[in-house]
Amino acid sequence: MTERVQILLWGVVAFTLIALAVPWFMWRSGTVVAGLPIWIWWHVGWLALASVVFYVFTQRAWGLGVERGGGHRG
């Protein structure tokens, strides 16, 4: 897979994480699970998912698209 395709795919993943971070479709839901509103469980699960995605990103794509060019500071 080329670097350009990887950058595009990670961009789509980031956009999806951001777009679904706020559960707008649950705003009027009064559903309670284990004593907490369902939207709180959404946030807990979403934060866990975002943590896993960030870990995978750091292992596979950290610095992708950043280390171009010959400009060295120092």
pLDDT per residue over 42-59, tens digit each? 999 999 999 999 999 999
User: Which residue, chain included where needed, has tokens 């950058």?
Assistant: 7
Note whether 39 and 28 are within 8 A (CB): no
The overall average pLDDT reported for the chain is 87
Instruction: Answer whether 0.85 is exceeded by the pTM.
Output: no
Q: Specify if 72 maps to a domain.
A: no
Q: Specify if 22 maps to a domain.
A: yes
Q: How far is CA 36 from the centre of its chain?
A: 24
- Is residue 60 over pLDDT 70? yes
How many domains does the chain divide into?
1
CA angle in degrees (0–180, nearest 5) for 7-23-62: 20
Residue-range definition of the domain harbouring residue 21: 3-60
Q: Specify if 66 maps to a domain.
A: no
Q: Specify if 67 maps to a domain.
A: no
Q: Specify if 74 maps to a domain.
A: no
Q: Specify if 12 maps to a domain.
A: yes
